[in-house]
Amino acid sequence: MSDVILTIDQGTTSSRTLIVSPAGEILFSAQEEFPQLYPNDGWVEHDPEAIWMTVKTTLMACHDWCVQEGYRPVAIGITNQRETTLVWDRATGDCLYNAIVWQDRRTAAVCRDLAKQMPVATLQAKTGLLHDPYFSATKMSWILDHVEGARDRAEKSELCFGTVDSFLIWRLTGGPGKSAVHATDATNASRTNLYNIRDNRWDEELLDLFNVPASGLPDVHDCVSDFGMCSVFPDSPFGDIPICGVAGDQQAAAIGQLCFTPGDIKSTYGTGCFVILNTGEDCLTSSNKLLSTIAYRINGTTAYALEGSIFIAGAGVQWLRDEMKLIDHAAQTQAICEGLDSNHGVYLVPAFTGLGAPYWEPDVRGGLFGLTRDTGRDHVVRATVESVVYQTHDLFDAMAKDGAHPKSLRVDGGMVANDWMVGHLADVLDLPVERPEILETTAMGAAYLAMIGAGLVDDLDGLTALWTRERLFEPNMDAKTRKSLLDGWADCVRRLLA
């Protein structure tokens, strides 16, 4: 019976579980979407039971496939949408409120107040992050303040708080008669605004500032570690299975893209877009509103990264399909973009949940610019796809001002199926862009961590043979056209922020 890894990818719009062989092949996968909840203007929530049931169902499907096909799952890896926050009852495991999602802006005013109490430079020095509702701390505090009795119960240590990884670890390890584990990994902790990424600990001053009691927080482990035994498979021939690799999804994608050397950079185009540049053991502080974050921590050694976070990438394509009804399928966008000889001066700035890096304007709303009498559907579709490219350029511009000049970029995520988008990205960044054979880099990153944990691979160096390039996109745009497109974009952003 061959050994395999089960890897859970709990994303913003769906949960997936994959079965990965030690040679890095995906043998089987199961995926389930779940509803997005928008209970108020700027609020985004998920039902915790929908997160749990989609994870459990896809995990069971993979477990049953292993039984049927004669494979033995020896380890579990977990990767997850980051920052999304849950609070649950330590005795029952029931959540007190829906998960507040990373895109949620309800705590924007709280963040503005907190910025008066702690200068952003102090916060940045400790956490690498900024005062913005994107991060977990104000979401945790909001739940404690708005669910009746929650704060009192938290003070009595009756509640657990955490990001999605810790919620899943709790539920997966707490099977019948088992004692649930409350743990997270360093990458997820580094997205909370409560974790000191230089000292590697929950920070007392930050816990006071954000008013979050330490007793409810998970233990923080290395990305390869003992996160407990998954005990939810009744009568499984395999018994309990160790969870031994965990990372937030963007860090996992960087691992899946094998960005292990300082200067390696990847960009993932899923719901949002997240650029991660490995900076090695140097925890650089951006002077241009990029984030510093933990890329991974293995054997007690921390690798850091600079990150640019864009909130709307593939979500813009979903908006074209679901709200504007301009397309039936995301895949149509490629032919539509290819069918136009230029953007005809039409730009979309998709600030649907405010603007992330490098602007950090939680309250700004989106805008469509440059419309004329003959602007049609195709121009709006192309402007939406182009907006993702120009936002990526803004991040690269900020990185260049911080002294980082990458030589090439590795891309992944659902949106890079669009060849035109990736070609335009290479043109606008004026950089070679590499697309890998396996686009499930996020799930693969967690699988690789679990492989190391299970002893199937010694260390990160043992993974190098597992990445292959599917296509290289070379830049092919003259400087004048590039400048004119970027000037047009910058003008629209300026008008929106004015």
- Which parts of this chain interact with ligand ADP (CB under 6 A)? 11-14, 270-271, 314-315, 317-318, 330-331, 333-334, 413-415, 417-418
d(CA 275, CA 217): 28
Q: Is 83 in the site for ligand G3P (CB under 6 A)?
A: yes
Q: Which is nearer to ligand G3P, 306 or 485 (CB)?
A: 306
- DSSP 8-state symbol, 224: B
Q: Which is nearer to ligand ADP, 124 or 442 (CB)?
A: 442
Cβ at position 315, least distance to ligand ADP in Å: 6
Cβ at position 336, least distance to ligand G3P in Å: 23
| Binding track over 101-140 against ligand G3P, x by CB under 6 A | -x--------------------------------------
Pairing of strands 409-412, 367-369: unpaired
Partner whose binding site includes residue 250, from ligand ADP, ligand G3P, none (CB under 5 to 8 Å by kind): ligand G3P
Q: Which is nearer to ligand ADP, 110 or 313 (CB)?
A: 313
d(CA 334, CA 356): 26
3-class DSSP state for residue 401? helix
Partner whose binding site includes residue 102, from ligand G3P, ligand ADP, none (CB under 5 to 8 Å by kind): ligand G3P
Partner whose binding site includes residue 93, from ligand G3P, ligand ADP, none (CB under 5 to 8 Å by kind): none
Contacts of 108 (CB under 8 A, 6+ apart): 42, 133, 354, 362, 363
Reported for 415-419, long-range contacts at CB under 8 A and 24+ positions apart, including other chains, are 415/269, 415/270, 415/273, 415/313, 415/314, 415/317, 415/330, 415/388, 416/269, 417/330, 417/331, 417/334, 418/330, 418/331, 418/333, 418/334, 418/337, 418/385, 419/334, 419/471
d(CA 55, CA 32): 8
Partner whose binding site includes residue 333, from ligand G3P, ligand ADP, none (CB under 5 to 8 Å by kind): ligand ADP
By C-alpha distance, which of 468, 427, 462 is closest to 298?
Answer: 462
Q: Which is nearer to ligand ADP, 33 or 430 (CB)?
A: 33
Neighbours of 219 (CB within 10 A): 13
Q: Is 292 in the site for ligand G3P (CB under 6 A)?
A: no
Q: Which is nearer to ligand ADP, 12 or 225 (CB)?
A: 12
d(CA 32, CA 142): 29
| Of the residues 203, 249, 264, 386, which one makes contact with ligand G3P according to CB under 6 A | 249
Q: Which is nearer to ligand ADP, 14 or 21 (CB)?
A: 14
Q: Is 360 in the site for ligand G3P (CB under 6 A)?
A: no
Partner whose binding site includes residue 82, from ligand G3P, ligand ADP, none (CB under 5 to 8 Å by kind): ligand G3P
Q: Which is nearer to ligand ADP, 140 or 411 (CB)?
A: 411
Helix axes 164-173, 48-69, angle to 10 degrees: 60
d(CA 285, CA 263): 15
Backbone region of residue 497 per phi and psi (left: phi > 0; alpha: psi in -120 to 50; beta: other values): alpha
Q: Which is nearer to ligand ADP, 406 or 413 (CB)?
A: 413
Asked whether the beta carbons of 209 and 222 are under 8 A apart, the reply is no
**Interface region with ligand G3P, contact rule CB under 6 A, candidates 51-59, 266-274, 393-401, 457-465:** 266-274
Cβ at position 103, least distance to ligand G3P in Å: 8
φ, ψ of residue 49 to 5 degrees: the values are -70, -30
Tell which positions 10-39 bind ligand G3P, by CB under 6 A: 11-12
Cβ at position 139, least distance to ligand G3P in Å: 12
Cβ at position 362, least distance to ligand G3P in Å: 15
By C-alpha distance, which of 411, 413, 421, 415 is closest to 335?
Answer: 421
Q: Is 453 in the site for ligand G3P (CB under 6 A)?
A: no
Q: Is 250 in the site for ligand G3P (CB under 6 A)?
A: yes
Which amino acid makes up residue 202?
A: W
Total residues contacting ligand G3P (rule CB under 6 A)? 12
3-class DSSP state for residue 50? helix
Site residues, ligand G3P (CB under 6 A): 11-12, 81-83, 102, 248-250, 270-272
